[in-house]
Amino acid sequence: MAFFASRFPRREHYRLALAFPRETVFLDIETTGLSLYYDHITLVGWSVADQYGLYLRGESTDRLREALARAKVIVTFNGSRFDLPFLRQEFPDLALPAAHVDLCFLARRVDLGGPQKEIERRLRLRRDGDIADLDGRAAPLLWHEYRRGDVGALRRLIQYNHADIEGMKDILDVVVRRLLLSRRAPRTIWPSYRFAHLRSSLRWSADRSRKAKGRISLPRFRGDRPSVSLASL
């Protein structure tokens, strides 16, 4: 894939996603803020086909590394300036797919500029009621509430991340069709599927002590606790 990615202009990398839809990973990160110098990643969510996975700060990165290693194309929204620099900063040895579709810039080519949620509103895409009013500014606050013991805040943060990823699938479908229309491409070469048809879902585990296969657990925050307590000495 690196061969094709290097020979396709970046603006045409979406064509590689169309060629390998089930090997395209949609990725979105949450952080404590916008600064590469003072802030850090709290959560990384991704979806390949109809599966959703996540990395939570402090956990093993094995599943994230495996998902990215198997993917041929990565899709983000403003990832060129945000998600990918953060990933490279925190995980310098993380292997990222050579082909990258940044929807923030691709969507502008069909007059869909602005933040992701604004584009979703223009396309009449709806999010679930619990997170309908959340935007990127809420993510650091939800993480802070989670650190203070509110596991429900982590649940909302994951739901928000998942909605961002699924929204990218819808937006990419619309953008691709508008690009094909603008180029007057014959219908015979239009993709017969939509990325939104490969929709993932959230499945929660009731057990906080471990992760059931394919389910998401909500562990209590332990990042600020010492590994050895006075009681254990």
Q: What is the CATH number of the domain that holds 14?
A: 3.30.420.10
pLDDT of residue 228: 33
pLDDT tens by residue, 170-200 = 999 999 999 988 877 776 667 777 899 989 9
Give the chain as a 3 state SS string: CHHHHHHCCHHHCHHHHHHCHHHEEEEEEEECCCCCCCCCEEEEEEEECCEEEEEECCCCCHHHHHHHHHCCEEEECCCCCCHHHHHHHHCCCCCCCCEEEEHHHHHHCCCCCCCHHHHHHHCCCCCCHHHCCCCCCHHHHHHHHHHCCCHHHHHHHHHHHHHHHHHHHHHHHHHHHHHHHHCCCCHHHCCCCCHHHCCCCCCECCCCCCCCCCCECCCCCCCCCCCCCHHHC
Residue 98: give the domain boundaries.
2-232
pLDDT tens by residue, 83-111 = 999 999 999 999 999 999 999 999 999 99
The count of domains in the chain is: 1
56 vs 7, residue with greater confidence? 56
pLDDT of residue 59: 93
131 vs 120, residue with greater confidence? 120
